Amino acid sequence: MPIRPILRYPHPGLKTVCAPVTSFDSALSDLADDLLQTMRAAPGVGITAAHIGVFERLTVLELDKADGVRIYANPEITWFSGETMVHVEGSVSMPGATDEVTRPKAIRFCYQDMRGHRHEEDASGFLAICIQHEVDQLDGVFWLQRLSRLKRDRLIRKWEKAKS
């Protein structure tokens, strides 16, 4: 269960559309464990396999210790509410950079668990925001693409200056 290196923005891998998980075996469990340890070390509340250069549709969330760890293979959003909310987002691939993003307040999504069993759930609030953020990443959409060009350019300049 090693902590893996995280791809940093603007790595081209962060624009990669991830392939579906097809093998629900010990290698997938090991990958999920590595993701969890890497996310905690970053620190963050969500991470995808793409963040560590493994381009499979796997994400791990831990919004808080009381709720526990959530692992989703092949998550897909099937419904979005018309009501939106604004939330401050960032990425383990761009530490220290955050901005407000507007997303649907509630979603319905399906996914497979670590044994390959399909599930469907509704989510709202912070959980819905996090799932949308991570599914975007699995689809090759880095969170910055959800910002206006002005906000995105300003944030990138600020982030690049900070890492110099």
Instruction: Output DSSP code: residue 50.
Output: G
Q: Which two tokens stand for residue 4?
A: 């893996």
- Within 10 angstroms of residue 135's Cβ, the number of other Cβ atoms is 21
Length of the chain: 164
Closest CA to 159 of 109, 80, 151, 17: 151
State the burial class of residue 17 (Cβ atoms within 10 Å of its Cβ: 0-12, 13-18, 19+): exposed
Out of 89, 121, 134, 160, the active site residue is 134
Q: Catalytic annotation on 134?
A: yes
Give the containing element (helix H, strand E) for 60. strand 58-61
Give the span between the Cα atoms of 21 and 112, in whole angstroms: 9
Catalytic residues: 134
